[in-house]
A and B are shown apart, each in its own frame.
Chain A
Amino acid sequence: EVQLVESGGGLVQPGGSLRLSCVASGFTFNSFEMNWVRQAPGKGLEWVSHISSSGNTILYADSVKGRFTISRDNAKNSLYLQMNSLRAEDTAVYYCAREGGNTFYFDYWGPGTLVTVSS
């Protein structure tokens, strides 16, 4: 059974940093591209970042470019999101999501971890 479990969320002050983790199981992690997607309270889904299976290709949404860094450790079946210079508008539930195919759809999602940026 495919499972994705995020951790690392919490309350952080504006300008602070946080590192999210996502541990994968039930599939060959190093064969799949992975993403982070977020949903702010009362808002819609927003794609945040993508990383290829090898880690060689990385993409970011404009809203987080230069502040967030995605990475992965295939030996540990883990995906990460380092978030720096956090803003109030980064407050959201963050999901890690597996890409199912070549057209960028997300076939499995974790339950999410809540990040709250507030003083």
Chain B
Amino acid sequence: SYVVTQPPSVSVAPGQTARITCGGNNIGSKSVHWYQKKSGQAPVLVVYDDSDRPSGIPERFSGSNSGNTATLTIRRVEVGDEADYYCQVWDTLFGGGTKLSVL
């Protein structure tokens, strides 16, 4: 079965750029979506189809996908961006999630 790998955690200072990766064999050939999940709240779609942004999501959030790695990039990180981020690949599969800490 297809396996995707996310780093358990990423730390960044406010105002800096956070990059969260999602690795998988030839993942660049698949559509990748990203969700933000805060404790006690429903997930929020922040990027779909590798790099598209739903309405209402700040331009600070962007995505890319090539080769064996998809990346969610959050520029000018804010304290409010602190959350778990999940990639979703190949119809149904979620990555294990990455905890973004804003120090």
Residue ranges of A at the interface with B (Cβ–Cβ < 8 Å): 37, 39, 44-47, 50, 59, 61, 95, 97, 100-101, 103-107, 109-112
Contact = CB atoms under 8 A, between A and B. Distances in A.
Given A44-B96, A45-B43, A50-B92, A105 B86 contact: no
Contacts of B45: 100, 105-107
Contact of B42 (A95, A100, A103, A104): A95
A58 B102 CA distance: 40
Contacts of A111: 41-42
B48 A45 contact: no
Contacts of A46: 94
Interface in B20-58: 31, 33, 35, 37, 41-45, 48-49, 54
B88 interface: yes
Given A59-B92, A107-B48, A45 B86 contact: yes
B3 interface: no
